[in-house]
Structure 1
Amino acid sequence: MQDPTNDDARLALDLALTIRHDGHGGVADDLTDPAGLTTWAQAHVAPGFVAGDAELAAVRELRAAIRALFARAVRPAAPSPADAARLMPVPDAVNLLNTVAARTPTIPLLHWAEDAQPVVEHRAADGADDLTAVLARAAIAFLAGPDRERLRACHAPRCVRYFIKEHPRQEWCKPACGNRARVARHHERHRKPADSLGE
């Protein structure tokens, strides 16, 4: 397993996005069982990883901490509606993140090619890394890095995603959410005059 660098610090965002809109007005969770975590981890972090119940519970708890810290990062805006009523307290989330990140000691390795700037790679000291430690370190890198300032919660109808704001006028995580928000505003504007006529 790799250790997070600036290039893959968005792994924390990818983990947070395993909670998403299900397409039918509800919330879907990609990590409901070990098979879901296995599929996600193999695609994002560790190709040979196979999850069990203990790994699933640990990653879900870590994801709750990350989403709580994302909710703090987007203040004063509202958090994702999926989290608004059940956020882990921020001190608990920070403590969990730090504790999990420290599970596997890492060592820095310097790489310095002839025509390039020096680069530091972090590797597990014993050669084997804990999935939750990798994810926690990715979250720390993300929250302490420049992307945190551009983190937003999408507030389109039924959306529960966090996203990185890519341009100044971006309001939603993807165009489909923008379309849903515009349609909802249109219906709201046209419903109010009809409601007032009936009074």
Structure 2
Amino acid sequence: MSALEFVSTVRATRAGLTDTLADVEGMTAWGRAHAAALGIDPGFVASEELRREVVELRQAVRALFARAVGPRAASGADAHRLPGFAESLDLVNAAALAVPLAARLEWPAEGVPLARTVPGEGTTESARIRAALATSAIELLAGPQRERLRTCPAPRCVLYFLKDHARQEWCSVACGNRARAARHYHQHRDD
């Protein structure tokens, strides 16, 4: 599960902003789609409390992303209603620390032994999900990819993305086309 996928649960469509995690059904579908990465059962069913906790964490991660892309503009989706930096940092760190991790040795009958890191026993599903998401955000923000983190400047786009090459300006080809079309329209509108 990448932190970018997590913060991209808020996106823009022709109808306006869409929040994949706006309701329990959306959270359930999203959780099931990312079950392996989140360490949860593929038959996962979200509760309203879990959904609220995950959305609160997402807003905190978006606040940290907004700071990371500075001085460039943050995503226009919610920059005006994000929690403060210190509060967001505390929430992300607390979520990551909530699940103790342990080394686990796995040794298949026809293979070599390998070590995996797994959540410790006795943690709640909500804590495991939030820890996985927070850890992903921490790894991105504390790693070399942070320098490549950008906000897409295309009209109506609210996504963050990782800049892959020096000339990349937008999160996707579609956003680049939309931005060029809007620029062309504004340049020729008064002709």
TM-score (norm 1): 0.82
Q: Post-superposition shift, 1:122?
A: 2.4
Amino acid in the other structure paired with 2:34 = H
Do the aligned partners of 2:63 and 2:79 also contact (CA within 8 Å) in 1?
no
1:6-155 residue pairs with structure 2 within 5 A? 8=1, 10=2, 12-24=3-15, 26-45=16-35, 46=40, 47-109=42-104, 121-126=116-121, 128=123, 130-155=128-153
User: Residue 27 of structure 2 aligns to which amino acid in structure 1?
Assistant: L
Task: For residue 84 of structure 1, report the CA deviation from its aligned partner.
Answer: 2.2
Shift of 1:109: 4.8
Determine what percentage of the aligned residue pairs are the same residue.
49
Letter in 1 for 2:63: A
Alpha-carbon spacing, 1:127–1:21, altered in 2? closer, same or farther (3 Å): same
Q: How many residues align?
A: 178
> C-alpha displacement at 1:147, in angstroms?
1.6
Bigger fraction of residues in helix:
2
Determine helix, strand or coil for the equivalent of 1:85: helix
TM-superposed CA distance for 1:189, in Å, is 0.9
d(CA) in 2 for partners of 1:48 and 1:142? 28
Tell me, in whole angstroms, the C-alpha distance in 1 between the residues paired with 2:185 and 2:13: 22
Q: What is the alpha-carbon distance in structure 2 between the residues aligned to residue 152 and residue 121 of structure 1?
A: 32
Tell me which residue corresponds to 2:111. Answer: none
Q: TM-score, normalised by structure 2?
A: 0.85
1:156 aligned partner, one-letter code: A
Rounded Cα–Cα distance in structure 1 between residues aligned with 2:160 and 2:172: 11
- Report Cα offsets for 1:14-64 as digits up to 9, x if no partner: 11000001223x111101111111111111133232100010000000000
Is there any run of 5+ residues in structure 2 with no aligned partner, and where?
A: 107-113
Q: What is the Cα-based RMSD across aligned positions, in Å?
A: 2.1
Unaligned runs of 5+ in 1: 1-7, 112-118, 195-199
Partner of 1:182: 180
Output the amino acid matched with 1:30.
T
1:157 alignment counterpart: 155
